[in-house]
Structure 1
Amino acid sequence: MLKALKLSANKLTSSSVSSILSNLTQLEIIDLSDNPLYEMPPELFELSSLQRINLQQTQLYGPIPKSFSNLVNLKYLKLASNNLSGPIIQKRTFSNLVNLEYLSLASNNFTGPIEIDALYNLVNLTSLDLSSNNFGTTLDVKFLSRLKSLRILDLSFSSLTLINEDNITLPMISIVSLRLGSCNISDLDILRSIVVQRDVHLPNNKIHGQLPEWIWSKWSNVIELDLSNNFLTHIGNKIPLQRLIGLELRSNLLNGQLPILPQSITSLDLSDNQFHGEIKPSICELELYVLLDLSNNSLNGALPHCIGMMGLQVLDLHMNNLQGNIPNTFPMNSGLMSLNLRGNRFEGEVPHSLSNCSNLKFLDLSENNLNDTFPIWLGNLPNLRVLSLKSNKLYGPISFPPHASADAFSHVQILDLSYNQLNGSLPFSLFRRLRQMMSVDETILGYFGDEYPIYEVNDYHDSMAMVLNGNIMQLERIQSSRTGIDLSSNHFEGEIPSSIGGLIAIQQLNLSQNNFTGQLPPQIGNLSNLHSLDLSSNQLDGHIPDKFAALGFLAVMNLSYNHLTGPIPSGTQLQSFSNASYMGNDGLCGFPLSKSCGNHESPQHGFPDEEDDREFFDGFTWQSVVVGYCVGICIGLVIGSLMFFIEKPKWLIRIVQEEAYRMILKYKARNGIRLT
């Protein structure tokens, strides 16, 4: 007599499920989602009373069994996120399912044309999701006029091209949710007959020019509108959708002043366009409390003081031409989680009211003209994970007052203070406070921003510019597990604190272009997850610690332009780096340098430097060796004949001998062969 059976998120296989299904003749609901079934239990199709089936994410493969036609009472069928393939909808499979209301076949491997006629018997179908497949075909919008009960349609990202082949005017169709992302739509007029009641998602299409006027009436009740990644140039001076909550027009060609927006809007993304002019104080009259992203435009002028009091969770204005002071108006118990003002012309101090933003996780004020001491009080923000203040005019030392909390900066995992004027010694306690970098958590997945409660229409993630493996990279998404410290291009001095050896989870470390003295801390050898290490252009001396050989993940290392001495540890990864990693350290020796660590050094005699030699040797291939060998024999025969008949040219012999001797010494030094 069992009516409902829910066994989702276990480790059941098809055979184990089969053994319990045969007697459940009254079963109406079955949920086996998130189990490794691999195939559908045959007994499932004998349960004619079934009304709801959920087999999402069960690793199913192959075509949809035609046995589904036996389940005439079925109302709900979810087969999304599997490996199903072949033709997606066939008459023999769905012709009898006249009671079906919900059908989701999203995120599979279906290909080929859609037999849309097979759907016409589904007169009660209200929701159809075929997104994220690989059909590679066209689909005529006229099919919508036959599915009179349909209210939710998602065909996004399925290699479909939506057309109106006969260019006919369809009868009015009412849809609650319309999702047609990446359907190669170039003209919105093919959707002119569709009245949408709730949300329209049309990202990644080819819509160009100006938005047609009819959408303001046909979509007047829409609360979410996504037209991102298109080629729109104009949207008008006003968006008259009075119920609109979420608007995304990111990555278009929109220009002019910011449009007048409905007061109801709470989430707005107009980034990556060509808007210019000022951000007017009237923006604070909106109900914006989720997201305001106006980044990568040409906006200028000062920020309205009220913008800090809007109650936003995410404020992103990076890469504009904004200037003046950052408003010091962030209120107590602010809900702000992410603030990105990178790449503007803000000046003055870091606003102290940010100390009220206890939820702040991401703070990027880099590439501005801020003139302040290091804001040590930011360490009191209990959730701060990313702090970037690089390329400003910060000055003075980093010093913790006696009353500073031991938990200051304890959650920070990316710290970038590079290209400032900070000085003094690094406090020993700085690295001991960065506890987030002291243990490796392999369970951390996803990207910064995944946890923000953003509306679906706004797929927002934190972004920043970082030096990775020696190159400046623009990270549009930052992995939640990323860690790094960049204090380069300042005036820090004194020894590098040995406490740095406790940051075993750190991946990037850059202390270059400072005035650090003393020896390389051997504790750096404990940083087993380090990918990039740059200590160049300092005043460091002494030997390279043997413990550096334990840095097995190190892909980039730069110790150049210091005063290091002694041998480069042999037989380790340290010898795999180029000469550029060690240049400017006259006391270093051993491979890959040409300078031997034996009792004798390679003679120089004014010959070309070692780098030229590397280029000389690197150019050899076996073809060039053979050609050179043959040419050498011919020249040798000629010279030998001349020498036989005339007096031996001693000057020529001496040059050849010296050049050969020099090349042999270079080869031995490079390969660690003892000189004799």
Structure 2
Amino acid sequence: MPNWLFTKEATLQELYLGNNSLTGSLDPIWHTQSFLQVINLHMNHVTGQLPVNISLMFPRLLILDVSSNNFFGHIPTSLCGINFMTFLDLSNNNFSGEVPACVFTNYPMLVSLKVSNNKLGGLIFGGMNNLSITSELYLDGNKFEGTVPRDLSGGTLMVIDLHDNELSGKLDMSLWNMSSLKVLNLACNHITGKIHPQICSFTRLELLDISSNNLTGSVPNCSCMLLHFLNLSGNSLSSHISYPFFNISSLIALDIRNNQFAGNLHWICYLDNIRLLSLGGNKFEGQVTPNLCELLHLRIIDLSHNKLSGSLPSCIGNFFFKGDRGDQIFQVVLTSLPYSLKPYDNPYGLRGFSFTTKGNMYTYGRSFFVSMSGIDLSANMLHGEIPWELGNMSHIKSLNLSYNFFVGPIPETFGGMEEIESLDLSHNELSGPIPWQLVRLCSLGVFSVAYNNLSGCIPNSGQLGSFGMESYLANTNLHQITQGNMCTPSLDPIAEEDVCEMFGDPILYMVMAAGFILAFWATVAFSLFHPYGTSVMFKL
């Protein structure tokens, strides 16, 4: 850190040193920097503490960004003495203790406060109710505790992100006066109670994430809200959904996994703009409605761990997963900072949209449009044959149909899913051979057909040759090809050779047939032309 910049009174106004590999600390600073308005040290390796007398050292600061460094210790109270501060970012450091209460209330010009991902604690908002911050407030990834205040006034606040803290108590926003709020994230806390109908008064709210709490009861009908991103997953909500809650025609991502929601899926036909649909881990029943096929923007479909039954609509094969590849769809969630802060004006960073693939849970934010496309229908009661039309989904990356009651063969058309990385058909009642067309799946990283009734030989070429026997367990008539291109039983080496072993190799079959023909004509020739053979024939 070039502290020689601060060794004397200077006329320097803006200092940008972000995205480097600077070390050291901000100490010592011997002279007041009366003209300095911007300090940006973002993403370095600077350590130490903020100067205790920081307001005396930098009395005219407008922007202080020391995010993504190694600062530690307490946040000095003297920060509140910098009257013109408009942007303060202390996130992604090791600050501890409490945020001085005056930071929340005494900054008449503070547009954005970010202290995310530190070790800060104490009462949320320092126990204050009237917040002076005008646009963005990020306190996520800390240890703040207490209840979310009932009587909270934030003026023109547009973003409140409190996710991943230790907040508790009931969620009651009945007296909140925040008509400008666009983003509210309270995920990963210990909040209890019900979702108050007053939440419908946030008519400008575009993102609501209250996932991974202890909320109960039903979801209020907020048809006047134009939400784009809604995450209610990981609670104990129990609405019977026969009609859509919220105005879901505007939804881009809906995640209500792991609750107690019930009803059928006919309401999803109203999700005209949906890209991510996660309904897994609930009590939905009935059939997978063909109306699902009309939602052509979908990238991720998770209906797993429900009580869905019936056959799978063949029209699902119409999903080509060629949806939005850019970030333009996210431009609806902006913070609209003043013009002087436009370099810091970025769309809100989405968090918490998860999808299980390759046997693991992955969390996607803005990247889920380009990183993942998949369908998870596992752990339901679906039956009938798997529609061959599913093989038309050439851009799908993950397909999970496990733990159902599918019968019949694996469609040969699955060889057309060129980009698939994870295919799980295990724990069904599938029969017949494994189609050789699956060896074309060059991107396949996870594959399982275990616990079915498959028969024949396991293809040993392409990606299928790289999977262990755990991918094929409990298929008693399914055999492994040996080094001699023989197909022998893989589970019982003492068992007799079967038809697959005898005729698994077409070349071997041709050699055996040719040998039989030669032996037949040799016998005829011997009988007719050899003296001994002729005598034998006469005796007969």
TM-score normalised according to structure 1 size: 0.62
Deviation sequence 1:611-660 (CA, Å, 0-9, x none) = xxxxxxxxxxxxxxxxxxxxxxxxxxxxxxxxxxxxxxxxxxxxxxxxxx
SS in 2 for 1:549: helix
Alignment partner, residue 435 of structure 1:
320
Alignment partner, residue 18 of structure 2:
106
1:338-377 aligned within 5 A = 338-350=253-265, 352=267, 355-377=269-291
Report the Cα distance in structure 2 between the residues aligned to 1:112 and 1:600, rounded to whole angstroms: 63
SS in 2 for 1:312: coil
Q: 1:387 aligns with which of 295, 301, 304?
A: 301
SS in 2 for 1:480: helix
Report the Cα distance in structure 2 between the residues aligned to 1:303 and 1:242, rounded to whole angstroms: 27
Counterparts in 2 of 1:118 and 1:359: CA distance versus 1, 3 Å = farther
The answer on whether the counterparts of 1:361 and 1:385 sit within 8 Å (CA) in structure 2 is: yes
> What amino acid sits opposite 1:208 in the alignment?
G
Structure ranking higher on relative contact order (CA contacts 8 Å, 6+ apart): 2
1:511-590 aligned within 5 A = 511-570=401-460, 572-590=462-480
SS in 2 for 1:548: helix
> What amino acid sits opposite 2:151 in the alignment?
K
Following superposition, the deviation at residue 238 of structure 1 comes to: 2.6
Report the Cα distance in structure 2 between the residues aligned to 1:249 and 1:273, rounded to whole angstroms: 9
Deviation sequence 1:389-409 (CA, Å, 0-9, x none) = 32233xxxxxxxxxxxxxxxx
Percent identity, aligned pairs only?
27
> What amino acid sits opposite 1:473 in the alignment?
M
Q: 1:473 aligns with which of 361, 370, 391?
A: 361
1:133-532 aligned within 5 A = 133-161=44-72, 163=74, 171=81, 173-188=83-98, 192=102, 195=107, 197=109, 198-211=111-124, 219-234=131-146, 235-260=148-173, 261-264=176-179, 265-305=181-221, 307-326=222-241, 328=243, 334-350=249-265, 352=267, 355-393=269-307, 420-421=308-309, 423-424=310-311, 426-427=313-314, 429-431=315-317, 433-436=318-321, 444=325, 450=330, 452-455=332-335, 458-461=348-351, 463-466=353-356, 468-469=357-358, 471-477=359-365, 479-481=368-370, 482-532=372-422
The answer on whether the counterparts of 1:343 and 1:366 sit within 8 Å (CA) in structure 2 is: yes
Alignment partner, residue 516 of structure 2:
none
Deviation sequence 1:255-314 (CA, Å, 0-9, x none) = 111244223333211111111111122222234422222111111112222x23222222
SS in 2 for 1:435: coil
Counterparts in 2 of 1:119 and 1:501: CA distance versus 1, 3 Å = farther
The answer on whether the counterparts of 1:109 and 1:133 sit within 8 Å (CA) in structure 2 is: yes
The answer on whether the counterparts of 1:132 and 1:157 sit within 8 Å (CA) in structure 2 is: yes
The answer on whether the counterparts of 1:303 and 1:326 sit within 8 Å (CA) in structure 2 is: no
Report the Cα distance in structure 2 between the residues aligned to 1:518 and 1:382, rounded to whole angstroms: 28
Deviation sequence 1:210-231 (CA, Å, 0-9, x none) = 14658556x5253322111111
Following superposition, the deviation at residue 488 of structure 1 comes to: 3.5
SS in 2 for 1:345: coil
> What amino acid sits opposite 2:361 in the alignment?
M
SS in 2 for 1:436: coil
The answer on whether the counterparts of 2:321 and 2:396 sit within 8 Å (CA) in structure 1 is: no
Counterparts in 2 of 1:281 and 1:592: CA distance versus 1, 3 Å = farther
> What amino acid sits opposite 2:20 in the alignment?
N
Counterparts in 2 of 1:97 and 1:126: CA distance versus 1, 3 Å = same
SS in 1 for 2:113: strand
Alignment partner, residue 409 of structure 1:
none
Deviation sequence 1:519-551 (CA, Å, 0-9, x none) = 433332333333222233444444333333333
Alignment partner, residue 504 of structure 2:
none
Following superposition, the deviation at residue 208 of structure 1 comes to: 1.5
Counterparts in 2 of 1:567 and 1:141: CA distance versus 1, 3 Å = same
The answer on whether the counterparts of 1:486 and 1:511 sit within 8 Å (CA) in structure 2 is: yes
Deviation sequence 1:500-528 (CA, Å, 0-9, x none) = 33323222223334444444333323333
Report the Cα distance in structure 1 between the residues aligned to 2:424 and 2:178, rounded to whole angstroms: 50
TM-score normalised according to structure 2 size: 0.76
Following superposition, the deviation at residue 599 of structure 1 comes to: 12
Query: Please, which runs of 5 or more residues in structure 2 have no aligned partner?
Result: 336-345, 496-540
Counterparts in 2 of 1:374 and 1:451: CA distance versus 1, 3 Å = farther
Counterparts in 2 of 1:538 and 1:373: CA distance versus 1, 3 Å = closer
Following superposition, the deviation at residue 329 of structure 1 comes to: 5.5
Report the Cα distance in structure 1 between the residues aligned to 2:252 and 2:200, rounded to whole angstroms: 18
> Structure 1 segments of 4 or more deviating over 6 A?
94-97, 167-170, 592-595, 598-602
> What amino acid sits opposite 2:333 in the alignment?
P
Deviation sequence 1:27-72 (CA, Å, 0-9, x none) = xxxxxxxxxxxxxxxxxxxxxxxxxxxxxxxxxxxxxxxxxxxxxx
Report the Cα distance in structure 2 between the residues aligned to 1:252 and 1:366, rounded to whole angstroms: 25
The answer on whether the counterparts of 1:507 and 1:532 sit within 8 Å (CA) in structure 2 is: yes
Report the Cα distance in structure 1 between the residues aligned to 2:192 and 2:423, rounded to whole angstroms: 41
SS in 2 for 1:247: strand
Number of residue pairs the alignment of both structures matches: 476
Report the Cα distance in structure 2 between the residues aligned to 1:488 and 1:463, rounded to whole angstroms: 18
Following superposition, the deviation at residue 445 of structure 1 comes to: 7.0
> What amino acid sits opposite 1:112 in the alignment?
G
The answer on whether the counterparts of 1:141 and 1:162 sit within 8 Å (CA) in structure 2 is: no
SS in 1 for 2:86: strand
Counterparts in 2 of 1:554 and 1:331: CA distance versus 1, 3 Å = closer
RMSD after superposition? 3.8
1:63-142 aligned within 5 A = 87-91=1-5, 98=11, 100-114=12-26, 117=29, 120-121=32-33, 123-142=34-53
The answer on whether the counterparts of 2:42 and 2:66 sit within 8 Å (CA) in structure 1 is: yes
Report the Cα distance in structure 2 between the residues aligned to 1:465 and 1:599, rounded to whole angstroms: 37
Following superposition, the deviation at residue 191 of structure 1 comes to: 7.3
Report the Cα distance in structure 2 between the residues aligned to 1:213 and 1:513, rounded to whole angstroms: 50
Report the Cα distance in structure 2 between the residues aligned to 1:490 and 1:503, rounded to whole angstroms: 22
Following superposition, the deviation at residue 251 of structure 1 comes to: 0.9
Counterparts in 2 of 1:568 and 1:315: CA distance versus 1, 3 Å = closer
Report the Cα distance in structure 2 between the residues aligned to 1:547 and 1:355, rounded to whole angstroms: 34
> What amino acid sits opposite 2:321 in the alignment?
Q
The answer on whether the counterparts of 2:281 and 2:304 sit within 8 Å (CA) in structure 1 is: yes
The answer on whether the counterparts of 2:99 and 2:126 sit within 8 Å (CA) in structure 1 is: no
